A and B are shown apart, each in its own frame.
Chain A
Amino acid sequence: MIKLFIDGAAVEVPEGTTVFKAAEQAGIALPHFCFHPAFAPEGTCRLCLVQIEGSPKLELSCSTVIREGMKVVTQSPAVGEARRGVLEFLLAEHPLDCPICDKAGECKLQDYSRDYGLTESAFREFKEKRDKKVAIGEKLLLDRERCIQCTRCVRFLAEVTKTHELGVFERGVRTEIGILDGVPVQNGYSGNLVDLCPVGAITDTDFRFKTRPWFLSRAESVCPHCGRGCNIYVDYHPGLPRVPGSAKVFRIRPRTNEAVNGPWICDVGRYGYVRAQNAGRSDRPFWNKDGAKTELGWDTAMAILGDKLRALVDAGRADRVAVAATSWLTNEELFLVKKIFRDDFGSGRIVLCDPRPGEGDDFLRRPDRTPNARGARELGFDPAPPALEALARGTEVLILFGPHIAEHFRPAELRAALDGIAVKVLVTPHLTGLEGLMDGVLASATPAEKDGSFTNFEGRVQPFAAAARPCPDVRSELEILAALAGSLGLRPDYYGRLTTAAAVRRELAKEIPFFGARA
């Protein structure tokens, strides 16, 4: 360990640490544009300058390595003057279009200008005119007037994706970031450039001009689009009381977790998830009656299903219920499915029906298209798609979680098999066409809307809490299952306790060693 002094306070850090990181450890945040913890220091923005005793000039804290007894000053008139100078130069060429800039409110240049740059500009000339919307990727627009040339985007594509789509061309006042001969940024991780950009130079066409960042609430969640379980933020508008539909998810951003996803997420999770929250939702329960769709309140819908199940139990044919669960369900929900239908109903037709695997890559993306395949396996579910014949024969009540069964069987095949089943209920957050074959549809919550946990492919159990509720009239599968257990009067001393995800998780840990070891 090496001891140095930062603003008079002694700090001990391992050899090889930079002044920037030592200061961070001492609780001092130094301003910076080009530095990013995922990359090697670049030293181009000159904003992290500090005073080091014995050095004739200010030094870059991001690339200067500490020495024994070093005395660093991070706040002084000379440092302040240097930062003001850097910011004045940047603003001399930066458009003041903050009122229409998507980054406004979370822009580093705005923040640092307020913190260090309050000064009158000596620049009286016209600003350079540059391209304001250069398409550099499917959803990426580059504004060359706003760009401060920190090169974070270029280094991300060079060091993380290693796809090298962007470069720094020309020099001096003509310096610009650009793609090579029209080949766009396209590597499955392009959305990260928007988060990386410290100013509003790279914007996302999905988010551009849709809302202002300060209207959004931020909630922590886990991405459900593959088995990696990337940690994410769900940025959502909580809604305006008199504007129906104003509660909405606007964007998904990575939440740094070095053990799972680092500071990145893939484009499938980023863009797919926003769509999954807002589009094609089944937003309230309904029953198909005589070919017509009848919307029902939750009480009625649950009562109908409860009555059908009770009739089976009373007739001694409780094992005639079949359930197709999905790895989109949380560990807690899958546990309840298993307890209620396998243990209490005694049904042998409790299967898993997942979407077909897709393609993974050698970075974050996994081939499975569900968040909890590992959790389902640990809970004893067989990942192979079910045999339709075995699922349907003799079944009187079928409960499907998720619409994925339609991916595995042709419509005619499915219709023929399901026709003989008296009661068919689909529990789903999305309507994909399968609902026409069903008697009833219960509108369920997406992962961002519920409490629970997913087990990622490495066996990491990641709990999360409900982030947003864009559809007010949906219920989580856990709420549906707990309500069913309650209304059927199943073991009240047991199920009576299991009405929240946290309570089910505790029970799960008690009963299944895999989860016990990870509680």
Chain B
Amino acid sequence: MSAAFSPELIGKIEALAGRYPVKAASLLPVLHLVQSERGHVSAEDERAVAGLLGMPPVKVREVMTFYTMFRRIPVGRYHIQVCTNLSCALAGGDSLAAHLETKLGVKLGGTTADGKFTLTGVECLGACETAPCLMINFDYYGNLDAARIDDLLGSLT
């Protein structure tokens, strides 16, 4: 169960919806907004969004599941997305992912027990020139090796 939307969040959603000829057209930016404020979009949040935008909840679920970057379950405070696609793999990206798994004690897709980190394997992050790379929340980190990753993780509180 997640708490109801705050008046501020509702205000922001309505402002976004007001920018489009029909409210439903604002669904993608609204979902991004909700996810950035709450970490993920729960089933309850989906229904709340559907209600605010005047659309059936099933339509929100369709969009949520169509796009891979919307999260329906909670993630840790730091969401680490490590690239497992070609350029990074050639530069050692898979051993990087394995190192992260050992270091954090979770498999790809898992969240640490203290809720601090979620580790996800993703396809290309579009930063092949810095392969191997990963994202922590909205920030990019490239040209990585095991030592740099240890430093990086150590710097996160």
Chain A residues in contact with chain B, CB under 8 A? 158, 164-171, 180-181
- Please report the C-alpha to C-alpha distance between residue A158 and residue B58 in the assembled complex, in whole angstroms: 10
Structural contact, A181 and B43, CB atoms closer than 8 A: yes
Structural contact, B66 and A170, CB atoms closer than 8 A: yes
A–B complex contacts, Cβ < 8 Å, 24 sampled: A158-B56, A164-B56, A164-B57, A164-B58, A164-B59, A165-B58, A166-B58, A167-B58, A167-B59, A167-B61, A167-B62, A168-B62, A169-B61, A169-B62, A169-B65, A169-B66, A170-B65, A170-B66, A171-B65, A171-B66, A180-B57, A180-B58, A180-B61, A181-B43
Residue from B58, B61, B66 whose CB has the most chain A CB atoms within 10 Å: B58
- Please report the C-alpha to C-alpha distance between residue A118 and residue B82 in the assembled complex, in whole angstroms: 46
Q: What is the CB-to-nearest-CB distance from A154 to chain B, in angstroms, rounded to a whole number?
A: 8
Additional A-B contact list (20), CB under 8 Å, known A169-B61, A169-B65:
A158-B56, A164-B57, A164-B58, A164-B59, A165-B58, A166-B58, A167-B58, A167-B59, A167-B62, A168-B62, A169-B62, A169-B66, A170-B65, A170-B66, A171-B65, A171-B66, A180-B57, A180-B58, A180-B61, A181-B43
- Please report the C-alpha to C-alpha distance between residue A507 and residue B65 in the assembled complex, in whole angstroms: 65
Residue from A166, A171, A180 whose CB has the most chain B CB atoms within 10 Å: A180
The interface size bin for chain B is under 10
Q: Which residues of B contact A168 (CB under 8 A)?
A: 62
Closest to A167 in B: B58
- Please report the C-alpha to C-alpha distance between residue A170 and residue B62 in the assembled complex, in whole angstroms: 7
Q: Which residues of A contact B66 (CB under 8 A)?
A: 169-171
Closest to A168 in B: B62
Q: What is the CB-to-nearest-CB distance from B146 to chain A, in angstroms, rounded to a whole number?
A: 34
Q: Which residues of A contact B58 (CB under 8 A)?
A: 164-167, 180
Chain B residues in contact with chain A, CB under 8 A? 43, 56-59, 61-62, 65-66
Q: What is the CB-to-nearest-CB distance from A160 to chain B, in angstroms, rounded to a whole number?
A: 14
- Please report the C-alpha to C-alpha distance between residue A76 and residue B81 in the assembled complex, in whole angstroms: 50
Q: What is the CB-to-nearest-CB distance from B115 to chain A, in angstroms, rounded to a whole number?
A: 25
- Please report the C-alpha to C-alpha distance between residue A165 and residue B61 in the assembled complex, in whole angstroms: 11
- Please report the C-alpha to C-alpha distance between residue A186 and residue B59 in the assembled complex, in whole angstroms: 18
- Please report the C-alpha to C-alpha distance between residue A333 and residue B95 in the assembled complex, in whole angstroms: 85
Q: Which residues of A contact B61 (CB under 8 A)?
A: 167, 169, 180
Interface of A: prevailing SS: loop
- Please report the C-alpha to C-alpha distance between residue A181 and residue B57 in the assembled complex, in whole angstroms: 10
- Please report the C-alpha to C-alpha distance between residue A168 and residue B63 in the assembled complex, in whole angstroms: 9
Q: What is the CB-to-nearest-CB distance from B13 to chain A, in angstroms, rounded to a whole number?
A: 21
Q: Which residues of A contact B62 (CB under 8 A)?
A: 167-169
- Please report the C-alpha to C-alpha distance between residue A171 and residue B65 in the assembled complex, in whole angstroms: 8
Q: Which 7 A-B pairs have the closest CB atoms?
A: A164-B56, A167-B58, A169-B65, A180-B58, A167-B62, A171-B66, A170-B65
Closest to B68 in A: A171
Q: Which residues of B contact A180 (CB under 8 A)?
A: 57-58, 61
Closest to B56 in A: A164
- Please report the C-alpha to C-alpha distance between residue A166 and residue B65 in the assembled complex, in whole angstroms: 14
Q: Which residues of B contact A181 (CB under 8 A)?
A: 43
- Please report the C-alpha to C-alpha distance between residue A180 and residue B57 in the assembled complex, in whole angstroms: 8
Q: What is the CB-to-nearest-CB distance from B151 to chain A, in angstroms, rounded to a whole number?
A: 37
Q: What is the CB-to-nearest-CB distance from B16 to chain A, in angstroms, rounded to a whole number?
A: 23
- Please report the C-alpha to C-alpha distance between residue A165 and residue B59 in the assembled complex, in whole angstroms: 10
Q: Which residues of B contact A165 (CB under 8 A)?
A: 58
Q: Which residues of B contact A170 (CB under 8 A)?
A: 65-66
- Please report the C-alpha to C-alpha distance between residue A8 and residue B66 in the assembled complex, in whole angstroms: 43
- Please report the C-alpha to C-alpha distance between residue A170 and residue B64 in the assembled complex, in whole angstroms: 8
- Please report the C-alpha to C-alpha distance between residue A80 and residue B69 in the assembled complex, in whole angstroms: 40
Closest to A157 in B: B58
Q: What is the CB-to-nearest-CB distance from B127 to chain A, in angstroms, rounded to a whole number?
A: 24
Q: What is the CB-to-nearest-CB distance from B50 to chain A, in angstroms, rounded to a whole number?
A: 10
- Please report the C-alpha to C-alpha distance between residue A268 and residue B24 in the assembled complex, in whole angstroms: 35
- Please report the C-alpha to C-alpha distance between residue A485 and residue B56 in the assembled complex, in whole angstroms: 61
Closest to B66 in A: A171
Closest to A175 in B: B66
- Please report the C-alpha to C-alpha distance between residue A259 and residue B65 in the assembled complex, in whole angstroms: 40
Q: What is the CB-to-nearest-CB distance from B145 to chain A, in angstroms, rounded to a whole number?
A: 34
Residue from B57, B65, B66 whose CB has the most chain A CB atoms within 10 Å: B65
- Please report the C-alpha to C-alpha distance between residue A181 and residue B72 in the assembled complex, in whole angstroms: 13
Q: Which residues of B contact A158 (CB under 8 A)?
A: 56
- Please report the C-alpha to C-alpha distance between residue A78 and residue B73 in the assembled complex, in whole angstroms: 47
Closest to B58 in A: A167
Q: Which residues of B contact A164 (CB under 8 A)?
A: 56-59
- Please report the C-alpha to C-alpha distance between residue A171 and residue B59 in the assembled complex, in whole angstroms: 14
- Please report the C-alpha to C-alpha distance between residue A488 and residue B147 in the assembled complex, in whole angstroms: 109
- Please report the C-alpha to C-alpha distance between residue A169 and residue B46 in the assembled complex, in whole angstroms: 14
Closest to A174 in B: B65
- Please report the C-alpha to C-alpha distance between residue A52 and residue B62 in the assembled complex, in whole angstroms: 34
- Please report the C-alpha to C-alpha distance between residue A37 and residue B66 in the assembled complex, in whole angstroms: 28
- Please report the C-alpha to C-alpha distance between residue A181 and residue B58 in the assembled complex, in whole angstroms: 9
Q: Which residues of B contact A171 (CB under 8 A)?
A: 65-66
Q: What is the CB-to-nearest-CB distance from B11 to chain A, in angstroms, rounded to a whole number?
A: 27
Closest to A163 in B: B56
Q: What is the CB-to-nearest-CB distance from B66 to chain A, in angstroms, rounded to a whole number?
A: 5
- Please report the C-alpha to C-alpha distance between residue A166 and residue B56 in the assembled complex, in whole angstroms: 10
Q: What is the CB-to-nearest-CB distance from B122 to chain A, in angstroms, rounded to a whole number?
A: 16
- Please report the C-alpha to C-alpha distance between residue A167 and residue B56 in the assembled complex, in whole angstroms: 10
- Please report the C-alpha to C-alpha distance between residue A87 and residue B59 in the assembled complex, in whole angstroms: 29
Closest to B64 in A: A169
- Please report the C-alpha to C-alpha distance between residue A164 and residue B65 in the assembled complex, in whole angstroms: 17
- Please report the C-alpha to C-alpha distance between residue A180 and residue B62 in the assembled complex, in whole angstroms: 10
Q: What is the CB-to-nearest-CB distance from B40 to chain A, in angstroms, rounded to a whole number?
A: 16
Q: What is the CB-to-nearest-CB distance from B32 to chain A, in angstroms, rounded to a whole number?
A: 18
- Please report the C-alpha to C-alpha distance between residue A181 and residue B44 in the assembled complex, in whole angstroms: 11
